[in-house]
Amino acid sequence: MTFKQRLALRAYTFALRLLLPAILLRYWLRGRKEPGYRFAMRERLGYGVDIPAGSIWVHAVSLGETRAATALIDALRLRRPEMRLLLTHGTATGREAGQALMRNGDRQSWLPLDTPGAVRRFLQRTRPAIGVLMETEIWPNLLHGAEDRGVPMVLANARLSERSARRGERFAALMRPAAAVVTDVLAQTEDDAERLREGGAKRVALSGNLKFDVRPSPALLARGKTWHAAIGRPVVLAAITREGEEAELMREWGRVQGRNPFLIVVPRHPQRFDEVEALLVQHGLRVARRSAWGEMPSAEQLNVDAWLGDSLGEMPQYYAASDVALLGGSFMALGGHNLIEAAACGCPIVMGPSTFNFAEAARQAALAGAAWQEPDMQHALRRALQVVGSELQHIASSRALAFAATHKGAAERMADRIVRLL
């Protein structure tokens, strides 16, 4: 590293150490609404993590990355049936979803905060054979610490939007050396690959998007279809919504209630469930919460205007219960969420203007006739109402399934490259 780069790393480390009490307090306070954040907090400092040496370590920070990692982990187990998995996370929803991937001898943990001491303790206790970071996780001290201990690191399903690349240029002295020590970068698209090379990554390969390889649960799909039949009306799903989007939707929804569509809203963050329910009620909707029933809703729960999807791990069920989905995160300047899961469930998608997190998938889905992109919520809702209950819905549903099936294979390609590094 150059003097400037070493100075940037020291300044970053010094600032992180100063902020450490505030970061830990933030996790503790967040635990008031999501208790999982208060679990095993010593792991955030690299303590309490023990697993026999030689594990394959996969870091999936949140729920979406954990779901995507499922296909890769399955492919790795096929190639190394004896493998022990160390699965780390940064969020409570990711950790909860990751429990389903555990087998005998595997271990879950929080990713240590990126201080040299926490990283050193974590690597000393776990001694992984290889580390696989999902999507965009570049942590300077973690990567330099792994290099010092001879642990090869892979950035899998890697993506870097143009917006993130521009922002990253401001911290090039810190991030470029970190990216340079990554052993292998497996990029989703050629545009991602080029931006990652420009960002300092040395060995970059195009491998595709793991999310195409995630298979929706047949049981959840079947249950969702049963729900759709029981509702007996056109169903519009607001999927993985973010703060501000539900209010925007409600301003438009009042204009279409005469059309009698049924609404399902699934917020992105569990701590917002109560807030979103209150908003729907405030706008005159009778609301039932998914958590209020098991397999099938009662007659009373069907005789409402909207459902609040206050559950985790059931998105295929909500997509299967719906005629069309409004893609959350795309109506604010947030870059959108995973539209591939909706397509794999046969649910047509209407996106807002902001899709930079899934730019290539959004473009391809629109070209395939599986999705539409609209400039705002008003136009998006208008498009959704054109789709529900029409022949167009059936055509778009078939095209969505075909689009999702066409791009599979990333898990196999990534697993082959990772195993070659062991």
Sheet with 235-241: strands ordered across: 287-289, 306-308, 262-267, 235-241, 324-327, 349-351, 371-373
pLDDT digits (tens, 9 = 90+) for 305-316: 999 999 988 999
Mean pLDDT of the chain: 95
Specify the pairing of strand 204-206 against strand 184-187. Answer: parallel
Mean pLDDT for 61-90 is 96
User: Is 80 exceeded by the pLDDT of residue 4?
Assistant: yes
Q: Are 59 and 134 in contact (CB under 8 A)?
A: yes
Sheet holding 130-134, edge to edge: 107-110, 85-89, 56-59, 130-134, 153-158, 184-187, 204-206
Task: Report pLDDT for 257.
Answer: 56
Residue 105, pLDDT score? 94
Mean of pLDDT values over 26-36: 93
Report pLDDT digits (tens) over 133-188. 999 889 999 999 999 999 999 999 999 988 888 888 889 999 999 999 999 999 99
pLDDT of 372 higher than 80: yes
pLDDT at residue 267 greater than cutoff 80: yes
By residue count, the chain amounts to 422
Q: What is the pLDDT of residues 94-107, one digit of tens each?
A: 999 999 999 999 99
* Residue 65 annotated among the catalytic residues of the structure: yes
pLDDT score of 163: 84
**What Cα–Cα distance (Å) separates residue 277 from each residue in 111, 145, 354?**
33, 45, 25
What is the pLDDT, as a whole number, of residue 1?
Answer: 85
| Residues 142/112, Cβ–Cβ less than 8 Å | yes
What backbone phi and psi angles, to 5 degrees, belong to 158? Answer: -70, 140
Domains and CATH numbers, the chain: 3-209+409-421 (3.40.50.11720), 218-406 (3.40.50.2000)
Inform me whether the pLDDT recorded for 221 exceeds 60: yes
What pLDDT is recorded for position 258?
Answer: 58
Among 65, 135, 248, 374, the active-site one is 65
